Amino acid sequence: MFDVLVIGGGNAALCAALTAREAGASVLMLEAAPREWRGGNSAHTRNLRCMHDGPQDVLVDSYPEEEFWQDLLRVTQGQTNEALARLVIRTSSTCRDWMRRHGVHFQPPLSGALHVARTNAFFMGGGKALVNAYYRSAEKLGVEIRYNTPVESLELKDGRFIAAHTAEARITARSCVLACGGFESNRDWLREAWGQNAAGEWPADNFLIRGTRFNQGVLLKFMMDAGADIIGEPSQSHCVAIDARAPRYDGGICTRVDCVSLGIVVNRDAERFYDEGEDFWPKRYAIWGRLVAQQPGQIGFSIIDAKAPGHFMPPVFPGAQSQTLAGLAQQLGLDASRFEQTVNDYNRACRTGNFNHAILDDCHTEGLSPVKSHWARPIDTPPFYGYALRPGITFTYLGLKVNERAAVHFNGQPSDNLFVAGEMMAGNVLGKGYTAGVGMSIGTTFGCIAGREAAQAAGKSEVNHAAA
């Protein structure tokens, strides 16, 4: 029998497996995906958010605990557990040394990287390289890894883990870490969570999944049915507006459209529906998926003119392009006269001051609803560009309730030997909203805690090099 069973194959699972192994436990990791698709959503990531009191290797300036906490408080509108959030924040300042020991390299942020040089440490080679480094380290340390092995159910007794069931086997272990993501890849569950709108549409039918297809939420559902304590709302998720031409799964980061704050966004009726310049794009990009999901047909169109290129990271697919607004409307399938009317109204309302995309500048609209608060410049310089947008789900927030030991709870009681990490519990810290890079901070912190606790529950705690 293995000491620790880790279910999942992304960042949280790997952090748990490595930490448990470092503590002397024998570890088996079960990954639903085949080897070539291993790593879940973590393989798509680029960075993690880190607290630091002064310049630290790849991080410039400082990002103190209180500022990180206030950022989290603001984006979640209070739907966060302060003790758990502060645990993540503090761990984020020390975990990089541990990550390096397992082969992760960091790089200075590239220009155009969402202005996050101060707050976020970027992985050299992205999340794919991070995941590969962790797998290499896990193999070297003797973690046994089985691919193509989705766990279908668990055997529990009085809140304790007994065994996991796959299609072929019953696997027992002294303790277990659940780290198998949210339910974002499960289209039926998304459909149920988002329901039907007043127009009779099922908005989730038009969602694109930005990451893995393997996070079906099978064990999340199982645990809910088994009476585990739950946190979060099924319809809350990290949801970004992405290029409507992105694939249904695994489009990743390059399908994001980052020019929203430089122009306007209209819906299928060629009407604006939200303040595109409300705040810096890194603080706002994660609300636009939901905004587009609330529009008819769940589609939006990001419109810019020739002044915008150079101020944002270009998407992987070129946008529609025309010398005239009417020509652009035609390409995007919008009513040309209504579109021209919307752009002209916006142009007339622009009060252009000193345009500066790096600050909350004084370019804004007056007498227009919705207002554009910053970076408002007339769309008057051809060529004009347009990108069709769809809601892109990154990950869902519904999860299992934990304490500072990452223990799964039943009726308020922590389990002795069942722990959870990553997206499956991120909702404890992130009930709503998002701030870039915090997903990996949560997964790394709780992955390491869960691994340490699982090893301890199995009677192992020899060495503890863990990040947390």
Ligand X SMILES: Cc1cc2nc3c(=O)[nH]c(=O)nc-3n(C[C@H](O)[C@H](O)[C@H](O)COP(=O)(O)OP(=O)(O)OC[C@H]3O[C@@H](n4cnc5c(N)ncnc54)[C@H](O)[C@@H]3O)c2cc1C
Residue 87, amino acid: L
Mention every residue, 6+ apart, whose C-beta is less than 8 A from residue 337. Answer: none
Provide, rounded to whole angstroms, the least separation between the CB of residue 422 and ligand X. 2
Structure-block tokens of residue 437 = 């890079």
Give the count of residues interacting with ligand X (CB under 6 A): 44
Provide, rounded to whole angstroms, the least separation between the CB of residue 426 and ligand X. 6
List 6, 48, 350, 449, residue binding ligand X (CB under 6 A): 48
When asked if residue 450 is in the footprint of ligand X (CB under 6 A), the reply is: no
Strand pairing category for 106-107 and 120-123? antiparallel
List 21, 44, 364, 372, residue binding ligand X (CB under 6 A): 44
Residue 4, amino acid: V
List 4, 6, 12, 59, residue binding ligand X (CB under 6 A): 12
Alpha-carbon distance 204 to 296, whole Å? Answer: 12
When asked if residue 30 is in the footprint of ligand X (CB under 6 A), the reply is: yes
When asked if residue 298 is in the footprint of ligand X (CB under 6 A), the reply is: no
List 443, 454, 457, 458, residue binding ligand X (CB under 6 A): 443
Alpha-carbon distance 399 to 233, whole Å? Answer: 9
Structure-block tokens of residue 318 = 């070129």
Tell me which residues in 192-231 interact with ligand X (CB under 6 A): 210-212, 214-216, 218-219
When asked if residue 289 is in the footprint of ligand X (CB under 6 A), the reply is: no
Tell me the three state secondary structure of residue 427: helix
Provide, rounded to whole angstroms, the least separation between the CB of residue 69 and ligand X. 17
Binding part of the chain for ligand X, among 36-44, 92-100, 333-341, 350-358 by CB under 6 A, reads 36-44
C-beta of residue 101 within 8 angstroms of C-beta of residue 465: yes
Longest CA–CA separation in the chain, Å? 72
> How far is Cα of residue 87 from the mean position of the Cα atoms in its chain?
19
Tell me which residues in 121-160 interact with ligand X (CB under 6 A): 150-151
C-beta of residue 68 within 8 angstroms of C-beta of residue 445: no
Mention every residue, 6+ apart, whose C-beta is less than 8 A from residue 366. Answer: 349, 351
Whose Cβ is closer to ligand X: residue 26's or residue 216's?
A: 216
Whose Cβ is closer to ligand X: residue 375's or residue 397's?
A: 397
When asked if residue 33 is in the footprint of ligand X (CB under 6 A), the reply is: yes
Mention every residue, 6+ apart, whose C-beta is less than 8 A from residue 134. Answer: 11, 14, 15, 18, 102, 103, 104
Listed residue (321, 8, 254) closest to 151, CA to CA? 8
When asked if residue 41 is in the footprint of ligand X (CB under 6 A), the reply is: yes
When asked if residue 45 is in the footprint of ligand X (CB under 6 A), the reply is: yes
When asked if residue 91 is in the footprint of ligand X (CB under 6 A), the reply is: no
- Beta-carbon neighbour count of residue 197 at 10 Å? 13
When asked if residue 5 is in the footprint of ligand X (CB under 6 A), the reply is: no
List 9, 263, 282, 300, residue binding ligand X (CB under 6 A): 9
Binding site for ligand X (CB under 6 A): 7-13, 30-33, 39-42, 44-48, 150-151, 179-181, 210-212, 214-216, 218-219, 252-253, 394-395, 422-423, 437-440, 443
